Amino acid sequence: MNVSYMAHVSGRVQGVYFRASSQQIAIEYSLSGYARNLTNGGVEVLMCGEEKNIEKMIKWLEQGPPEAEVDNIDVQKVPWQEHHFFAIS
């Protein structure tokens, strides 16, 4: 079943290839959506696809790439959104 989740990740997550790494992992898990920097220094990640793959992505987001230091992640299920790829903005 396809679902959408929104994650807000805080910590040292900008300038450490967090968005690009998120895109690679999302593609690996066949997810669409986006990752974008927020003005507060965090990263917002929209994940759309199979729930089991989103769960794997969330586990990855809790750590992020090696250079990142994730302090907190807030994840919420959101209404389904149709995306055809995973974008970085």
CB 70 within 8 Å of CB 20: no
Residue tagged active-site, from 19, 40, 53, 72: 19
* 12 a catalytic residue: no
Residue tagged active-site, from 12, 37, 40, 72: 37
Separation between Cα atoms, residue 26 and residue 24, nearest integer Å: 6
* 19 a catalytic residue: yes
Separation between Cα atoms, residue 44 and residue 35, nearest integer Å: 6
Q: Known catalytic residues?
A: 19, 37
